[in-house]
Amino acid sequence: MKKMVRLKNTRHTLELVVLLLVGGVLLVVLSFLQTQMETEKEVKTELVEQNAGKEQTIEAFYAPLDVEEEESDSAVTDLFVLQFPLAEDWNTEPFSSGFVPNEGLGKELVKEYGYKLFIQGLKQDNPYVQWYSAYRLIEFYNSGFREEIMIHLAELQQETPYEEVRAASRFAINVLSNQPEEESRLIRTKEGLLVFTRFFETQLGGGQKVYLVKDNKLSELFVWKDEEHLVGVKHIVLSQDSKYAWIGLQGKEKFYSYIISLQETKYPYYATSQTLFSNDGEQDVELSALNEKWRNISSKISFEDPQQGILEGKWTEEGTLELAYKEQHYTYLPETKELKEGYKVEWDANYDYIAFVKGLEKQGVHVVQKAHYFSSVFTTMREELEIGKESILVYEYASTKEMEKISQAINPLGTRLGDKLISSTRNTHLYKKGRLIVLYYGASKEIMGYLKKELGEQFAGNPSI
């Protein structure tokens, strides 16, 4: 009996020793793996810092792909054949502006392989595929693999003999690293926002998208969705307060312009216009109206006063800054940094379309933006909103003075603006505030109640409703 107990104790002792040995080996392996991962992370971080915005000779670390290279090579070929169906010889003519990708095709391949599909594209012999893959990798800004992506881009930047490929790799690294170089297609604001397009003109049609990086997150600020008309981004300009972007798109027959809010993601499109090219170079009234709107927006600026706090203002043609703070009004002289009282501006001068929508939403109204286009009757941009099944038309002008001039030309019944017909219906209601004229056709007392609360009494239209 005692012998059996001794044997059992010996067996338990041996099992304990084996467990300790196995545990020790596991600890050594885990320690080695952790050290290797930390070393690789240090190498990757150092390489990224070295290659953000400049060229360096490096030895890059590559994480292995989860798929066989032969399989991913085939996927890259499949993707490019799908996205460039009109390019008969896309494999031998890199950097041609005649090729237009259809990025809507091949989504399943991108979903299956993710960013590694374009990493494999960087390894192809075709510089055109490398170039396009570098730009597409920017889309994976939010993926959590930015460091790995930048390492691959940095190595390609060093090895390629093609300047176009180097430029694409450098640009992608600049965006992914949040260290942009100064160039017209990528703008960094003092608030830390990045606004950019992947490439200008009609080259690859890539200018059909404009991106915004805000709070370390990438989003599509603007997407051109008309596949029948090829356009490319011609220019991007930001307003002085970095709240709006002017985006100009060049097409074969038309030039398109948009003013887009960088802050109001629910209602991003502030205004839009398009014009046919003319031999005499004259702009149509639609584009002229948008230009005037942009001059008004781009002159806005915020000024921090030690006593009054943040003041919103607008630059004047005389080089001074009109500021409104509660019921006190000032003029800021930038050369002497003096803030003088007595320059009168209307309190509602900055009340605009976005302020109107916000005001309605504060009342609990669900507002849907339907369309925006130029009105030949009101000679300004027309924004169409929908509340329930009813439409509200909003006309915004560059100043309260211009708005008042138009409103005074409208007859009391709200049916005519000068010699132009507004409506023949009796249920016409017009309101005004700030730079806006708001038109409602209908008989809903609920909607008229919302408009009255936000805008005040109607100034024209049928008073009996």
Of residues 40 and 427, more confidence is placed in 427
| 176 falls within a domain | yes
Same domain (yes/no): 151, 212: no
What DSSP state is assigned to residue 260?
E
| 411 falls within a domain | yes
Two structure tokens written together for 146: 């930015």
Query: Where is the domain boundary, 136, 162, 181?
Result: 181
| 12 falls within a domain | no
Report the pLDDT value the prediction gives residue 127, as an integer from 0 to 100: 83
Q: How far apart are CA 261 and CA 268, in angstroms?
A: 5
| 163 falls within a domain | yes
Q: Mean pLDDT score of the chain, rounded to an integer?
A: 72
Residue 413 phi, psi dihedral angles, 5° rounding? -80, -10
Of residues 72 and 154, more confidence is placed in 154
| 197 falls within a domain | yes
Of residues 463 and 25, more confidence is placed in 463
| 217 falls within a domain | yes
pLDDT band for position 86 (50/70/90)? very low
Provide the CATH number for the domain around residue 451.
Answer: 3.40.1000
Query: Where is the domain boundary, 122, 152, 181?
Result: 181
Report the pLDDT value the prediction gives residue 429, as an integer from 0 to 100: 93
Q: How far apart are CA 14 and CA 24, in angstroms?
A: 15
Geometric angle at alpha carbon 195, from 190 and 199, rounded to 5°: 140
Query: Where is the domain boundary, 311, 341, 371?
Result: 341
pLDDT band for position 311 (50/70/90)? low
Q: How far apart are CA 316 and CA 399, in angstroms?
A: 12
Q: How far apart are CA 353 and CA 299, in angstroms?
A: 17
Read off the pTM: 0.59
Same domain (yes/no): 323, 389: no
The total of structural domains in the chain comes to: 4
Same domain (yes/no): 85, 159: yes
Instruction: Say which range, 93-102, 146-155, 232-241, 305-314, has the weakest mean pLDDT.
Output: 93-102
Same domain (yes/no): 331, 269: no
Same domain (yes/no): 73, 149: yes
Same domain (yes/no): 417, 380: yes
Same domain (yes/no): 55, 176: yes
The mean per-residue pLDDT over the stretch 24-53 comes to 46
| 36 falls within a domain | no
Highest mean predicted confidence (pLDDT) among 23-37, 85-99, 416-430:
416-430
Same domain (yes/no): 431, 383: yes
pLDDT of 456 over the 60 cut: yes
Structural domain containing residue 322: 299-341
| 37 falls within a domain | no
The mean per-residue pLDDT over the stretch 457-462 comes to 90
| 368 Cβ neighbours under 8 A, 6+ residues apart | 385, 386, 387
Same domain (yes/no): 109, 153: yes
Two structure tokens written together for 14: 């041996």
Where does residue 111 fall: left (phi above 0), alpha (psi -120 to 50 degrees), or beta otherwise?
alpha
Cα distance between the two ends of the chain:
108
The CA-atom distances, in angstroms, between 112 and each of 66, 72, 109 are: 11, 11, 5
Per-residue model confidence as pLDDT tens digits over 128-187? 888 888 988 999 999 889 999 999 999 999 999 988 889 889 989 989 988 766 666 778
Same domain (yes/no): 57, 161: yes
Per-residue model confidence as pLDDT tens digits over 325-366? 444 555 655 555 565 665 444 445 568 888 898 899 999 999
Same domain (yes/no): 327, 394: no
Same domain (yes/no): 171, 193: no
